[in-house]
Amino acid sequence: MENDLELYNIIGQNIKKRRKSLGITQEKLAELTNYSLSFIANIESRTFQSFSISALNNIAKALNTNMLNLLPQDNKEFIKNKEIKCEYCDYHTEIPIELINLINNIHEITYKKIKLTCPKCNKKIIF
């Protein structure tokens, strides 16, 4: 449910951006799609408003675009995990991509290899 809220919000914001870039009002978009103004307004607001794929398709057509362009374009908004494996034992875990990006920033600054200690076998895992 929380992820659904985030997903619908991102799509809603993409619809809003696309609509504004075309200089179309919410009223005009409602007219073009035959949806109510409150439905369009709710989609674009950060209140929870779910909608069907066919509604998304209709809105995309009205905005002269493809509905794929209205879906989240990158995964920055979602916290994604990357799997880390120890090469010596069967230990593996997932750490957030954001943390990896931060570690990579440290790597760039220090030019040193980042080593993690495996919590299971205590050997160094070269990052």
**Positions in the binding site for Zn ion (CB under 5 A):** 86, 88-89, 91, 118, 120-121
**Cα of 9 vs its chain's centroid, Å:** 10
Nearer to Zn ion, 43 or 118 (CB): 118
Residue 87 CB, nearest distance to Zn ion (Å)? 8
Report the distance separating Cα 111 and Cα 61, nearest Å.
49
Residue 125 CB, nearest distance to Zn ion (Å)? 7
Residue 9 CB, nearest distance to Zn ion (Å)? 40
* Contact yes or no for 117/123 (Cβ under 8 A): yes
Cα separation values, 28 from 21, 41, 49, 81, Å: 14, 12, 19, 41
Nearer to Zn ion, 71 or 114 (CB): 114
Question: And the tokens for 92?
Answer: 């593996």
Nearer to Zn ion, 5 or 89 (CB): 89
Residue 33 CB, nearest distance to Zn ion (Å)? 55
Report helix, strand or coil for 113: coil
Nearer to Zn ion, 69 or 117 (CB): 117
Angle at 22 between CA 43 and CA 77, to 5 degrees: 45
